[in-house]
Amino acid sequence: MKWKKILIWIPVLCMLLLIFGFSNQNGESSGSLSRNVADSIISFAEQLNIIHPTIESREHYIEAIQFPIRKTAHMTEYAILGGLCLLAFWVDGVKKKYLFVCAFVLSVCFAAFDEFHQLFIPGRSGQFTDVGIDSIGCAIGLFVIYLFEKVFEKVRQSVDNR
């Protein structure tokens, strides 16, 4: 059981390192990554005949969707981190009523640390708003897990009552 409690933190550590690695990119590399993702989305929409951009409007589309892409990526990273923290705390034996709070607090603390870390990366800046966006992502991830837990509980009770 002791090894299980240690090993369950490895996915959390991997996610922390992944987030830290993305944050450690300088502003140009980070911007290039989101630009490439935006360009891929535009190309996909173009292949589906949803849009037919000119060269000028393509740039406009790319600029318009870069911000939502970046913030969605932030939220997704922290939704995953929150879920992994929840699982790790559960295996560690944290009481059920504290599980979600512990997972949320750890994730938000890391978000704050990560934004502070970005103050020292060329072309990046630490933003309080990003800590808020990361926190919202974590909260959404934990809420989805909570909903799944409640649905699973109702299904299990329904099966037990048969």
* pLDDT for position 1: 66
pLDDT, one tens digit per residue, over 58-70 is 888 888 898 899 8
Give the chain's count of helices (H) and strands (E): 6, 0
Q: Domain extents for the chain?
A: 2-160
* pLDDT for position 161: 77
Q: pLDDT exceeding 90 applies to what percent of the chain? A: 54
Q: Is the pLDDT of residue 10 over 90?
A: yes
Which own/partner pairs from 115-122 qualify as long-range (CB within 8 Å, at least 24 positions apart)?
A: 117/20, 117/23, 117/24, 118/23, 121/23, 121/24, 121/25, 121/26, 121/27, 122/26, 122/27
**Averaged pLDDT of the chain:** 90
Q: Is the pLDDT of residue 8 over 80?
A: yes
DSSP state of 25: S
Q: Is the pLDDT of residue 11 over 80?
A: yes
**CA 61 to chain CA mean position, Å:** 24
- The whole-model pTM stands at 0.86
% helix, strand, coil for the chain, step of 5:
85, 0, 15
| Cβ-based neighbours of 135, under 8 Å, separated by 6 or more | 78, 104, 107, 108, 111
User: Strand, helix or coil at 127?
Assistant: coil
